[in-house]
């Protein structure tokens, strides 16, 4: 955990110097009658050529870490990628993760988009699963939609974005219900991006 924390800190300082797109996200789940669950993720993406890009990704939370290197491609409004990586829970294991996003602009307004996003993870044993799917409408400041995410739950999401120089700060609230744990998990998400 400490090693991954050091990698995240170094990445936050070094990544903007050589990457085209950067995303840092911190969220907190507040399960009813349980401890708060923090989750941190960082990814950066560098375009290679002709719609291809590479994107390292790291995530950490209490007792769990993972890292992937995604190879991505986009055609117009369609984006997809696959990434090999490792996950550490009780022990380290190999993972393979595909994702898909469809994000068309609405009319001629580049600040308004619809986005459908889904991601899966596959590995050894019983650890193969769908991870998340979301549908959002986003303007230059407001985003609304719905999400379903493993270990988080299902429910609506609403966000507000503030631009500060080259960076966008986004605050999102999601009153989610987790059907696996049978508990309500209100979630707040803080995201920093340069797109």
pTM: 0.85
Tell me the CATH number for domain 2-193: 2.40.160.40
Question: What SS3 state is found at 9?
Answer: helix
> Hunting for tokens 């989610």 — which residue is that?
176
Q: For 33-84, what is each residue's pLDDT tens digit?
A: 889 999 999 999 999 999 999 999 999 998 889 999 999 999 999 999 999 9
Q: Where are the beta strands (DSSP E) in 7-141?
A: 21-29, 37-49, 52-61, 64-75, 78-88, 92-102, 105-106, 109-123, 129-138
Q: For 20-29, what is each residue's pLDDT tens digit?
A: 788 999 999 9
Torsion sign (Cα): 40, 167, 97, 159: positive
Question: What SS3 state is found at 11?
Answer: helix
């Amino acid at each position: 955990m400490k090693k991954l924390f050091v990698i995240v800190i170094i990445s936050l300082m070094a990544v903007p110097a050589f990457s085209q797109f950067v995303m840092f996200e911190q969220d907190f789940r507040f399960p009813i009658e349980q401890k708060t669950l923090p989750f941190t993720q960082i990814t950066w993406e560098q375009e290679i050529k002709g719609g291809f890009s590479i994107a390292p990704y790291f995530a950490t939370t209490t007792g769990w870490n993972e890292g992937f290197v995604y190879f991505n491609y986009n055609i117009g409004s369609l984006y997809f990628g696959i990434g090999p990586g490792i996950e550490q829970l009780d022990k380290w294991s190999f993972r393979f993760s595909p994702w898909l996003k469809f994000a068309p602009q609405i009319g001629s307004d580049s600040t308004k988009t619809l986005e459908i996003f889904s991601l899966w993870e596959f590995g050894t044993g019983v650890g193969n699963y769908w991870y998340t799917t979301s549908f959002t409408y986003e303007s230059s400041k407001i985003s609304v939609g719905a999400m379903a995410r493993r270990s988080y739950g299902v429910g609506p999401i609403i966000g507000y974005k503030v631009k500060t120089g080259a960076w966008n700060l986004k605050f999102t609230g999601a009153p989610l219900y987790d059907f696996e744990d049978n508990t309500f998990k209100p979630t707040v998400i803080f995201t920093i991006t340069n797109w």
